[in-house]
Amino acid sequence: MTDAVEIKSHVIRVAREADMDLVGIAAVDRFESVHYRLRPQAHLPDARAVVSMAMRYPRAMYELAGVTEAESNMSLDSYENSHMREMLMVAAMDVTRYLEKCGWLAVPMQITHYRVHPYKDIPDSWTRDFDHNVAAVAAGLGELGLHGEPITPEYGTRQMFISVVTDAPLEPDPIYDGPPLCDRCMKCVETCHMKAFDPSTRKTVTIGERTFEVAAKDIWRCMWSRRFMLNADAGPRLCGLDVTVDPPDGPITEADVQKAQALKGEKGGMQTWYIYADRACERNCIPPHHRGRQRRTDTQPHQAAGAAEGQA
């Protein structure tokens, strides 16, 4: 087996060669606040580390989607949901294969599937089998904002994450302790088309030595727009589909979603196949030090894991 320090530098290199912009290593004991079925050790009993990686969105593709004369979010849709996901999973495969070649075990975690309903003793709906957001923060890449998503010093919320769980003894990166990246500006709460956040109800998420306070979110209200695209304001109108179906007051059920989808299909016809809904909470989230900046290179250099080791 290759020396652990050398492996880490090579893991970062492999990730960078696979177009990852951020790479960090999390120790598995930083996941203690996560449900035991979703921890790294649930996937690999002898897990010792998680490699968290992120790929940034092209800035103009993200920021200008729907706001320029083109009035289009088609690039954002197709790159986010197809190409960027594919590149993230190829990167995860490459890191996994590299670790295997060094004699360790590794499991690349997925980023597309959910369990719609509570599963066994996992009480929440719409859960993945692994929490990439917690992994990113545990790997020192950023911190959780009020909306519960990671904000990084480099790209704010403009990146997608993926993770690899491994039993390789990779040295963890320190958890981020720089200036706050979320100043509770409340934009995420105010701009959510579905009013999914309840900032008066907070929950705490402890990751390593940090504890974050995030707003309670009604995940079914979020998915009403984000996944089922039932609110034209969130993006479908830009695709030519001006159909909004309002959710019921109170808890949303699966039957409500299915009924609303049928109604959208009746009104929208073929266009319902070709629409996209963005996440206003993330699009309107700009960390304090990024506000007013016009292009990616305006950001300040940051000592990301790769950069810290001369791999950037």
Where do contacts with another protein occur on this chain (CB under 8 A)?
14, 36-38, 42-44, 86, 89-90, 92-94, 96-98, 100-101, 103-117, 119-120, 128-130, 254, 257-258
Q: 37 vs 289, which CB is nearer to another protein?
A: 37
- Sign of the dihedral through C-alpha 39, 42, 45, 51: negative
Among 92, 94, 9, which residue's Cα sits nearest to residue 53?
Answer: 92
Q: 49 vs 92, which CB is nearer to another protein?
A: 92
Shortest distance, position 129 Cβ to another protein, whole Å: 4
* 72, 66 contact by CB (below 8 A): yes
Q: Which helix (H) or strand (E) holds 108?
A: strand 106-108
Shortest distance, position 89 Cβ to another protein, whole Å: 4
How far apart, in Å, are the Cα atoms of 98 and each of 7, 23, 206, 219, 240?
A: 9, 15, 31, 36, 45
Among 246, 237, 244, 233, which residue's Cα sits nearest to residue 271?
Answer: 237
Q: Which amino acid is at 299?
A: T
Q: What is the DSSP letter of 104?
A: -
Shortest distance, position 209 Cβ to another protein, whole Å: 25
Q: 117 vs 195, which CB is nearer to another protein?
A: 117
Q: 261 vs 271, which CB is nearer to another protein?
A: 261
Q: 63 vs 167, which CB is nearer to another protein?
A: 167
Shortest distance, position 278 Cβ to another protein, whole Å: 21
Q: 63 vs 77, which CB is nearer to another protein?
A: 77
Q: What is the DSSP letter of 109?
A: P
Shortest distance, position 46 Cβ to another protein, whole Å: 10
Shortest distance, position 156 Cβ to another protein, whole Å: 27
CA atoms within 13 A on the CB side of 160: 22
